[in-house]
Amino acid sequence: MTRPSKQIISLNVNGDDYELAVRPNRTLLEVLREDLMLTGTKEGCEDGSCGTCTVLLDGAPVRSCMLLAVDVAGRHVVTIEGLASDNELHPVQKAFVEYGAIQCGYCSPGMILTAKALLDTNPNPTEEEIKLAISGNLCRCTGYNKIVSAIKIAGENIAGVSSHE
Amino acid sequence: MNNNDLKYVGKPVPRKDGPLKATGGAQYTVDISLPGMLVGKVLRSPYPHARILNIDTSQAKKLPGVKAVVTSADSLKVKHGFIDTPRYPADQYPIAVDMVRHAGEEIAGVAAIDEDTANEALSLIHVEYERLPAVFDPEEAMKLDAPEIHPNHPKVSDPYKNIGGKIETAFGDIEKAFTGSYLIREDKFYCQIRTHGYMEPQATVASWDHSSKLNVWTSSMGVFLKRARLARTLGLPFGSVRILKTYVGGAFGGKIDLYGHEYIASLLSMKCRLPVKIVYTREEVFKAARHGQPLIVEIKTGVKRDGTILGQQIRTINDSGAYRGSGVVAIFLAWGFAMAPYRIPSMQYEGYSVYTNNLVRAPQRGHGAPKMRFAAESQFDVIAEELGMDPIDFRLKNARNPGDMLPNGDSVKNFGLKECIAKVAEKTDFKAKYEAALKERHSGSTIKRGIGIGTTAYFSGSLVYPNSSTVIVRFNDDASVSVMTGALDIGQGCETVISQIVAEELGVPLNEIHVHAADTETTPVDIGSWISGLTYVTGNAAKKAASHAMKKLLNVAAQELGSEVQELIALDKTIFVGHSPDRKISYGQAIAASIAKNKGDCIIGEGHFRTMKDEVSPPSLSTAKGRWTENYSNYAQVAEVEVDTETGMVRILKATTAHDCGFPVNPVLVEGQIDGQVSMGQGHILSEELRVEDGCVINPSFLEYKMPCALDMVETDYIDVITETYDKEHHYNTKEVGEGYVSGTVASVANAIYNAIGIRVKKTPVHPQDIIDALEKHEHGGKGDLTR
């Protein structure tokens, strides 16, 4: 078995610059989990159908299992480990914790990042807009009800904070 | 004690592991990485039934980067089984010996330095098979000329060689009941195979260390059962096998029993003395892991003119797959779900668990309840309609009262079913909506609305294994608290619930309670997160342990303060002498005093609890004799649906659940359990089906197996029916909340579809095309049942 040779890529992950040697057949998910040990990003299906591996690529939610690492060279990635700052949970994380939106927690990183991206572009989404935004993220535990409520509350909290600023 | 005086129990506190899970810090089995760790892969049978003539691993072993290859030749050839009793002895090798009986059965394992090498090694293992005739339909497998799947196995029902389990039980006089009946209905219902849909795939890391100890991290539902099964099949003393805690990305019944990959990872690690990690691909989960129980239910019910049920005769057939798995348990439990909720004076029940060449079955949330209640509740509505009664009155007439004795000797001492039915009917305005839908059926609109009800009673900790727990509560020097429990939190939040109980007993804030859980080496035995008993069994053990520690603390305080224990009041981690509040001692001072003056006693409390403490053995799986559980949960669920008669699409608009879980220790966790089960029930009745052809799964991905997504979300509402209290002086009774509700959704949606369009659903799932076909048949004067 011959293997393609590695390529050197640079990647900004959670604000830090990395120079990485990766084979061209490796996914962003594999590089995040195995090379950078950022295991908060989960794998659930390998075919883009479950959304657990969602990360933010230049601010937009993407499925890291469907992207080759070499194709995102030079770009900015945010994983769940990069969301809280100074030990303070992001409002979406906070709302997920406080309003029962987490059970087993396996889908939570992808779900939270998808919600964060939604609220970045649409701080006051309707329930239908929330459901549509997270419709590619499967959750087997919660039935989605408390996740949708938590995202709505997080949006209100973010709007509340910014209106006070 | 009034529940209103409680500070932690009964409060909707956020789960303790929430921040860790929300920040990506929770370590699941798939996240475990050890120095020198190898990638393990499993070679599986492509055939559903074959003799293995030869396995040649020589080429695979020579491949650079391969560190170990194992087959059954490396194993002790010890069988295991979810059930292992004299009647039902273990029937499955953890790695195939000479025969394969289902596609996907484990034949060999490899460990290599990376995934590519491991996969290449699998391709270099050459297996010669002799294919054998196979059978996939349980009713076919029950015929005398069907291929025999376990030729050398003791038979439970000669001459029917594939019947792997049989249960027969009866009470009352069924013949007399039917003779005296005004109306008798006979119907047959079918439920499909569904997968559990846990988001974390099956995963195991095994590491045989230099002290000859096997350390295992595995995505499971309880560490002690895994240890027992692994130790026995590997021939190791229990003390040489350590299962450690990891977070678990969902299980729903699918991660209880020993799985082949857990054994193979262990064997590989023991062989090459390096850690080995096996993670299933999602396709592998679909094609090779255990899924839920398909069930056929034939049900005959006789009633009086006024709707009183006189007798019921039930026959169930379970396709257990190639090995017994939990099939014999499913047919036992289905009996329980039939007899518990309603007064049925005479009943005859027989259940068959039949070997086929399909995948092995695991327990699945509800374990028989969704199917049995779907059948019984559907037939209730048919009967009620024929008698001219409405579904609520029919149920209220027959539901059990608190204090009724069940035929197996259980008392339903605190049964809230009638209250649940009445309250849910009232809150949803059931009767008016039901009548309105009947009138609307013949209107011109293509969108029809309907309302339906489903109910159940569910066990809360049953006597298997036996179902017991020990918990240790230890004060630390700073008066924070460490709790040692074998319970494993699989997402339901048991660590939070246990912490609430300990916090309540000790008066120590939740954030100062530290739970150390689920490690076979360092925590006491606990049955684990299955059989729906954790809040009841482990929770009571935690309560006893905490109260034991508190007693010791108060004794020390009494010594130090020169008072009687009865005079003491504990508040905010300080103990006061009641009548003179300036006489006080902090918890920390009391602990220090205990260590200094009581021979170093650092104050450790110990608590044990076992459900059904007076029962020696579990109920019989062949006769159903013997007590089952001491606390039955109840609920009544109402679904409101909309059916598009042009497209056949069914939408669930709302699910309202009235539930008697005793009392909710944590209401937000209870709601989460109900919501999750509504969603699972929705998948069961409307979309989910594992499609199998010749024993092979042909829809092995989430793209082809449709689980509900956020766009399918059902609006939910809850009504608490409280039948128990939390009493500080005694153990408390509370009831399950994690499994039973899924069946209410299935039954209520089926009944709501009938209310909307007059089509009786007799199989699940209901595809849009099924609705269209049934409506067409209906229009042409056919019976219009939606069946297989």
Give residue B1's pLDDT.
Answer: 38
- Tokens describing residue B768: 């849009």
Contact, B316 vs B352, CB < 8 A?
yes
Contact between residue B67 and residue B38 where contact means Cβ atoms under 8 Å apart: yes
User: What pLDDT does residue B2 have?
Assistant: 46
- Residue numbers in A near B26 (CB within 8 A): 105
pLDDT at B559: 96
Longest dimension (CA), chain B: 90
Q: How far apart are CA B150 and CA B161, in angstroms?
A: 8
What sign has the CA pseudo-torsion A135, A140, A143, A147?
A: negative
Fold held by B32-132+198-251+255-288: Aldehyde Oxidoreductase; domain 3 (3.90.1170)
Q: What is the pLDDT of residue B478?
A: 96
- pLDDT beyond 80 at B628: yes
Residue B712 CB partners (closer than 8 Å, separation 6+): B679, B682
Helix axes B260-272, B223-234, angle to 10 degrees: 60
Closest CA to A140 of B90, B712, B542: B712
pLDDT tens per residue, range B269-282: 999 999 999 999 99
Residue of B nearest to A128 (CA): B711
Helix (H, G, I), strand (E, B), or coil: what is residue B164? strand
Residue B465 has pLDDT above 90, yes or no: no
Q: Which residues contact A160 (CB under 8 A, 6 or more apart)?
A: none
**Residues B643-665, mean pLDDT to the nearest whole number:** 97
Q: How confident is the model at residue A86 (pLDDT cuts 50, 70, 90)?
A: confident
Average pLDDT over residues B173-181: 98
Q: What is the pLDDT of residue B3?
A: 53
Per 3-state DSSP, chain B is made up of helix, strand and coil in percentages (nearest 5) of 30, 25, 40
Range of weakest confidence among B137-141, B542-546, B643-647, B737-741 = B737-741
A136 pLDDT above the threshold of 90: yes
Q: Considering only alpha carbons, which residue of chain B is nearest residue A25?
A: B116
Q: Is B588 in a helix, a strand, or coil?
A: helix
State the complex-level ipTM: 0.98
- B358 Cβ contact list (under 8 Å, min separation 6): B48, B102, B136, B193, B319, B321, B322, B692, B695
Q: Which CATH number fits domain B295-393+422-460+628-779: 3.30.365.10, 3.50.50.60, 1.10.10.10, 1.20.1180.10?
A: 3.30.365.10
pLDDT range class, residue A1, cuts 50, 70, 90: low
Per-residue b or e along B163-190, where b marks 16 or more CB atoms closer than 10 Å to that residue's CB: bbbbbebebbebeebbeebeebeebbbb
Q: What percent of chain A has pLDDT over 70?
A: 97
Write down the pLDDT at residue B767: 97
Closest C-alpha to B240, from B212, B266, B263: B212
Sole residue written with tokens 């269209």: B772
At residue B463, the pLDDT reads 77
Encoded amino acid at B443, one letter: S
Q: What is the pLDDT of residue B782?
A: 72
Residue B89 in tokens: 């002895």
Inter-chain CB proximity A138 and B200 less than 8 Å: no
Q: Which domains does chain A have, with CATH numbers?
A: 7-82 (3.10.20.30), 91-164 (1.10.150.120)
CA–CA distance, B144 with B199 (Å, rounded to integer): 41
Does residue B157 carry a pLDDT above 90?
no
Correct CATH for B3-25+468-610 of 3.30.365.10, 3.90.650.10, 2.40.128.50, 3.40.50.970: 3.30.365.10
Same fold, B32-132+198-251+255-288 and B295-393+422-460+628-779: no
Q: pLDDT tens digits, residue range B564-578?
A: 999 999 999 999 998
Lowest mean pLDDT among B310-319, B610-619, B671-680: B610-619
- pLDDT average, residue stretch B361-384: 97
Partner B, chain A 53-92, Cβ-Cβ below 8 Å: 79-81, 83-84, 89
DSSP of B374-402? HHHHHHHHHHHHHHT--HHHHHHHHBPPT
pLDDT band (50, 70, 90) for residue B779:
confident
Of A39, A97, A144, the CB nearest to B18: A97
pLDDT, position B612: 87
Average pLDDT over residues B8-12: 97
- Rounded distance between C-alpha atoms, residue B366 and residue B252, angstroms: 9
> Which pLDDT does position A164 carry in this prediction?
58
**pLDDT recorded at residue A21:** 98
Residue B729, both tokens: 């002086």
Q: Are A142 and B675 in contact (CB under 8 A)?
A: yes
Measured distance CA(A151)–CA(A116) in Å, rounded: 8
In chain B, what residues touch A106 (CB-CB under 8 Å)?
Answer: 28, 198-200, 249-250
Residues of B in contact with A138 (CB under 8 A): 197, 199, 702, 707, 709
Q: What is the pLDDT of residues B179-218, one digit of tens each?
A: 999 999 999 999 999 999 999 999 999 999 999 999 999 9
Residues in chain A within 8 Å Cβ distance of B199 = 42, 44, 50, 52, 104, 106-107, 138-140
What average pLDDT is seen over chain B? 96
pLDDT category at B467 given cuts 50, 70, 90 is: confident
Check residue A96 and give left, alpha or beta (phi > 0: left; psi -120 to 50: alpha): alpha
Q: How far apart, in whole angstroms, are the C-alpha atoms of residue B601 and residue B599?
A: 6
Structure tokens of B391? 């579904």
Q: Are the C-beta atoms of residues A90 and A78 closer than 8 Å to each other? A: no
The CA-atom distances, in angstroms, between B384 and each of A12, B302, B387 are: 66, 12, 5
> Is residue A131 less than 8 Å (CB to CB) from chain B?
yes
* Shortest alpha-carbon distance between residue A83 and chain B (Å): 7
- pLDDT tens digit string along B405-457? 999 999 999 999 999 999 999 999 999 999 999 999 888 899 999 999 999 99
* Higher pLDDT, residue B578 or A57: A57
For chain B, the domains span: 3-25+468-610, 32-132+198-251+255-288, 295-393+422-460+628-779
Q: Provide the pLDDT confidence category of residue B4 given band limits of 50, 70 and 90.
A: low
Closest-CA distance, B438 to chain A, in angstroms, reads 30
Overall average pLDDT of the B755-763 stretch: 97
